[in-house]
A and B are shown apart, each in its own frame.
Chain A
Amino acid sequence: MNKEDKGERMGQKVAMTGNIAVANAMRQINPDVCAAYPITPSTEIMQQFSSFVADGEVKTVLVPAESEHSAMSACIGAAAAGGRVMTATSSQGLALMWEMLFIAAGNRLPIVLAMANRALSAPINIHGDTSDAMGARDSGWIQLFSENAQEAYDNVIQAVRISEHMDVRLPVMVGMDGFIISHSIESMELLDDKVVRDFIGEYIPNRPLLDVDNPMTYGPLDLQDYYIEHKRQEYEAMKNAKPVILEIAERFGKISGRQYGLFEAYRLDDAEVAVVVLNSAAGTVKAVVDELRVKGIKAGLLKPRVFRPFPADEIAQALSGLKAVCVMDRADGVNGLSGPLFSEFRSALYDAGARPLMINKIFGLGGRDLGLQHVRDVFHELLKISETGKIETLAEYMTVRN
């Protein structure tokens, strides 16, 4: 691999895929332990990172596990022992980790997981949608999403600080669209290795198992007398995560010049109609928003960055006063009504002063392309709704052959 891929042109623009960018974030973080199992489209992250391990660029203990369930189990053990721990996965791999995800969160272990979002089987499909992440949304993990390789890289670095914050101590998963971002080469900036290392700082484990002078028990039985108290703590930690994420974003802004919040509000301030969408599709929507703005149409975009914790109040504030909003889900919760993002966004707007009319589109499943015309059609429907005040179809599939 050439010097550019290793990020030796530090602080300069480089051309990288999302996966290689994340692998470089991991190289700069230099975690104590990485346990993983390969799965498309995230395989390349650990493949690249294992080269960094083999080349002695990191001191990480790499554990090639026999499944994702084992990989997450090893991550949990290593984190409880007191290590800084990372892994990567996608789709079925995240699904196989499902049981252990709750254990990582419930044991309050700061693990960072890079997730190249991919559709869930069946039918089997290797391409990008967020159904894997949505399946893990209630596992107690913090969830960050990334529009492009730069955001994936930046989010992974910030995730370390977020998860390790003593008010939080929850694991974090960072998503980016499989293939569309994980495998596309983009122009982005790698920070200087030392700048990243200074930013994340030295890891101070909380009650590590390897502290043999103070033996303690992890994961004991917790019955009617204490289980709910521990869940109440977890709830508090997730609430605490919101200000912590903002505080760390502000510090990250100082080293990178890139500003992050709970979501990106793109031309939303004076917007009358807006789309809500995760990950790379936000780029397509931005192009259409710009196009409509030229025509004098007040269009905007809300791109969630933080889905867990769910920033309901801030979302309600941002979307209150708009005439019509379309929440676009690249996953179907298969509840027979709407996608998972829509349910939560509509609920967040329930208490808003001036509630917009809201519709839901389920799109792009299994990597089906979202084109500019699709987004134009959505905005035209929103304009019609804002004129007539009537919703014809609350939720439906789009980018599908009818």
Chain B
Amino acid sequence: MSELKSWKEIPMGGVIEEAGNADQYTTGGWRTFKPVLDENKCIHCLICWISCPDSAIIVKDEKMTGFNYKHCKGCGACADVCPKKVQAITMAQEGK
């Protein structure tokens, strides 16, 4: 999040003038558990990418490569949808 502004500097009525600026609002600090990827197990089915509510699954060349921890809230949806036979994503407690 950029520097907080005074009431005189912001658009009236709480209007957000810039489309798609949720990207600037980092929600990683909300996390209690963080997803951890085991690259050896991942089959790149990308079900986690479809399921992530924060678009925090990083995909390069159609391969799952990790997490955007600036936006990942640690909801665990990715670990939950990761196929049972694969289990490439596990949730680990933050700070441990």
Which one, A106, A214, A215, A236, contacts B13 given CB within 8 A? A106
Are B13 and A109 in contact, CB atoms less than 8 angstroms apart?
Answer: yes
A219 at the interface (CB under 8 A from B): yes
Given contacts A215-B19, A216-B18, A216-B19, contact A108 B4 (CB under 8 A): no
Q: Is B95 close to A, CB under 8 A? A: no
Collect the chain B residues with CB atoms within 8 Å of residue A214's CB.
17
Do A229 and B7 have beta carbons less than 8 Å apart? yes
Once the chains bind, are A220 and B19 in contact (CB under 8 Å)? no
Query: Interface size for chain A: under 10, 10 to 19, 20 to 34, or 35 or more residues?
Result: 20 to 34
The distance from the CB of A346 to the nearest CB of chain B, in whole angstroms, is: 31
A233 contacts chain B at the CB level, 8 A cutoff: yes
Distance in Å: Cβ of B54 to nearest Cβ of chain A: 15
Cβ of A293 under 8 Å from chain B: no
Task: Determine whether the beta carbon of A229 is less than 8 Å from that of B10.
Answer: yes
Known contacts: A108-B12, A169-B12. The answer to whether A233 contacts B7 by CB under 8 A is yes
Q: Which residue of A lies closest to B11 (CB)?
A: A207
Give the distance in Å from the alpha carbon of A107 to the alpha carbon of B16 in the complex.
11
Nearest residue in B to A216 (C-beta to C-beta)? B17
Interface residue tally on B, bucketed by range: 10 to 19
Task: Let me know if B16 and A233 touch, CB within 8 A.
Answer: no
In the complex, what residues of A have CB within 8 A of residue B24's CB? none
Separation in Å of the B25 CB from the closest CB of chain A? 10
Main DSSP-derived SS at the B contact region:
loop
Interface residues of A (CB under 8 A from B): 106-109, 169, 206-207, 214-220, 222, 225-226, 229-230, 232-233, 236-237
B6 close to A (CB within 8 Å): yes
Chain A residues near B5: list those with CB within 8 A: 229
Type the 1/0 row for B3-46, where 1 means its CB is closer than 8 Å to any CB of A.
01111001111111111000000000000000000000000000
A232 near B7: Cβ-Cβ < 8 Å: yes
Distance in Å: Cβ of A150 to nearest Cβ of chain B? 33
| A108, B7: Cβ atoms closer than 8 Å | no
Quick one: given A215-B19, A216-B18, A216-B19, are A229 and B13 in contact (CB under 8 Å)? no
A-B contact pairs, 10 of them (CB 8 A): A107-B13, A107-B14, A207-B11, A216-B17, A217-B19, A220-B16, A225-B1, A230-B7, A233-B10, A233-B12
A237-B16 in contact (CB<8A) = no
How far, in Å, is B8 (CB) from chain A's closest CB? Answer: 8
Question: In the complex where A229-B5, A229-B6, A229-B7 touch, is A219 in contact with B14 (Cβ < 8 A)?
Answer: yes
Known: A107-B15, A216-B18, A230-B14. 14 other contacts (CB 8 A): A107-B14, A108-B12, A169-B12, A214-B17, A217-B15, A225-B4, A226-B4, A229-B5, A229-B10, A230-B7, A230-B13, A233-B12, A236-B7, A237-B12
Q: Which of A109, A206, A216, A236 lies in contact with B16, CB distance below 8 A?
A: A216
Inter-chain contact A226/B11, CB cutoff 8 Å: no
